[in-house]
Amino acid sequence: MRNRCLSIFTVLLIVLLVLAGCAQKSTKKPETTGPKQLKSEPTISLYDNKTGEKKQVKLEEYITGVVAAEMEPSWPVNALAAQAILARTFTMENIESGRVKELHGTDVSTSVEESQAYDPSRINDHVRQAVQKTRGEVITHNGAYIKAWFSASNGGKTASAAEGLSYTKTPTPYIKDNINDPMSVQNTLPEIQKWTAEIPGSKVQEAVRSVSGKDPGPLTSAAIAEKGPSGRTVQLKINNVTVGGPAFRLAAGSTEIRSMYLTDVTVSNGNLVLTGQGYGHGVGMSQWGAKNMAEKGTSPEDIIKFYFKDVEIGRLYK
C-alpha cells in the first residue's frame, strides 16, 4: 500500500512539474527581431514628380535631401539627426508597402503626399553631419518598421493616430498620445503658438461636400461636434452636416488650417473663422519639440523615445 501511494505521489509530482514547465514556457515573451540586416547601403529608385524623371540614388543620399526639405537645415544637429532616423524608417516602411511602386514603378517619389519632401538644394553641413551620425538607423516595434509620423508642432500635447490622423487601419501602440509636450511650443513662431484662419464659405462648402458627399448649403453655422482625448477636434459640424476634423482640414487647406487643435469656431460674414494652436496633426515627433530638446543636449535617440514607446532603434547597415 505504501509503495502504491509513493507511486501515485511520484506520478502527480511529475505531472505538476510538466504543467509548471508548460506554463513557464507559455508566459515566455517571444523573441523579437528587427528588419533583416543588409550587407551594404541599398540603392533605391526615385521618381521626380516635377520632371517625370526616374533615377537611382543611394539611400543615405536620398535621406539627406529629405531631411533638408522636411526640417530647417540650420537647426541643431541632434534635431536633424532625429528627423533622419524618422525619414529613413518612413522610407523603408514605404518601400516595404509598395505604395509608390504601384504609382510610378519606383521605390519613392519627391511628392509629400506619396513619400516625403525632397530638396537637395537645401543640404548643408549640419544636415550631412546629422545623416552621417545616424547612418542606417531605423525604428522598429516588435520587429516591424513603425509609422514614423511627425509634425511641426503638436501645440503642447501629442495625439494618437486615430485622433490626429483618423488612422485606424493598423494598430499603432508605439505612439505616445495625450502627453504634455511643453518643448513643442517653447520659442516657436507666434503663428504656431496661436493662430486664426478665415476660410471662405464657398471653400468650406466644397470641402464638406468632398469629405462627406453631402452638400451643407451656404455656410450659416459651425461648431465643434466632438473632441478627442488631447482636445483636438475630431468631428466638426458645418450647418447640419458633421465631418471628420482631420479630413476636413486636408480638404479645406492644411496650410491655412494649421491644426485641429482648435480653441474657437465661429462664422463671420459667411466665412468660417477658426482659432487654434500648433501646426500639423500632432502625431509622433514634434519638430519644434525636437529642436528645443536638442538645444538642451538631448540625443536623437532620446528625442525619438520621448514621442514613441516600446521601440528599438537599430542599424540596418554599416
Residue at 300 is within a domain: yes
Instruction: Please check whether residue 230 is in contact with residue 177, taking contact to mean a CB–CB distance below 8 angstroms.
Output: yes
Is the pLDDT higher at 8 or at 140?
140
Within this chain, do residues 190 and 205 fall inside the same structural domain, yes or no? yes
Give mean pLDDT, residues 191-215: 96
Within this chain, do residues 118 and 166 fall inside the same structural domain, yes or no? no
Q: Mean pLDDT, the chain, as a whole number?
A: 91
Within this chain, do residues 242 and 298 fall inside the same structural domain, yes or no? no
Instruction: Please check whether residue 201 is in contact with residue 218, taking contact to mean a CB–CB distance below 8 angstroms.
Output: yes
Task: Give the integer Cα–Cα distance in Å for 147 and 168.
Answer: 12
Residue at 258 is within a domain: yes
Q: Which residues contact 291 (CB under 8 A, 6 or more apart)?
A: 72, 75, 76, 79
pLDDT for position 6: 40
Within this chain, do residues 273 and 160 fall inside the same structural domain, yes or no? yes
Task: Give the integer Cα–Cα distance in Å for 218 and 233.
Answer: 22
Is the pLDDT higher at 34 or at 109?
109
Within this chain, do residues 167 and 263 fall inside the same structural domain, yes or no? yes
Within this chain, do residues 276 and 288 fall inside the same structural domain, yes or no? no
pLDDT for position 37: 86
In Å, how far from its chain's centre is CA 179? 15
Residue at 61 is within a domain: yes
Confidence class for position 300, pLDDT limits 50, 70, 90: very high
pLDDT for position 34: 56
Nearest to 154 by CA among 135, 127, 121, 181: 181
pLDDT tens, position by position, 235-260: 999 999 999 999 999 999 999 999 99
What backbone torsions phi and psi does residue 252 show, to the nearest 5 degrees? -90, -20
Given a cut of 90, whether residue 221 has pLDDT beyond it is yes
Count of the separate structural domains present in the chain: 2
Within this chain, do residues 178 and 233 fall inside the same structural domain, yes or no? yes
Residue at 177 is within a domain: yes
pLDDT tens, position by position, 136-189: 999 999 999 999 999 999 999 999 999 999 999 999 999 999 999 999 999 888
Within this chain, do residues 69 and 87 fall inside the same structural domain, yes or no? yes
Residue at 26 is within a domain: no
Give mean pLDDT, residues 68-80: 98
Q: How many CB atoms lie within 10 A of CB 109?
A: 22
pLDDT tens, position by position, 12-37: 444 444 444 544 444 444 444 457 78
Within this chain, do residues 63 and 132 fall inside the same structural domain, yes or no? yes
Within this chain, do residues 273 and 167 fall inside the same structural domain, yes or no? yes
Within this chain, do residues 141 and 157 fall inside the same structural domain, yes or no? no
**How large is the angle between the packed helices 77-97 and 125-133, nearest 10 degrees?**
60
Residue at 34 is within a domain: no
Give mean pLDDT, residues 185-209: 94
Residue at 31 is within a domain: no
Amino acid found at 50: K
pLDDT for position 36: 78
Q: Are strands 195-199 and 271-276 parallel, antiparallel or unpaired?
A: antiparallel
Q: Which residues contact 10 (CB under 8 A, 6 or more apart)?
A: none
pLDDT for position 279: 97
Given a cut of 70, whether residue 133 has pLDDT beyond it is yes
Domain coverage including residue 135: 43-149+284-315
Within this chain, do residues 102 and 65 fall inside the same structural domain, yes or no? yes
Residue at 2 is within a domain: no
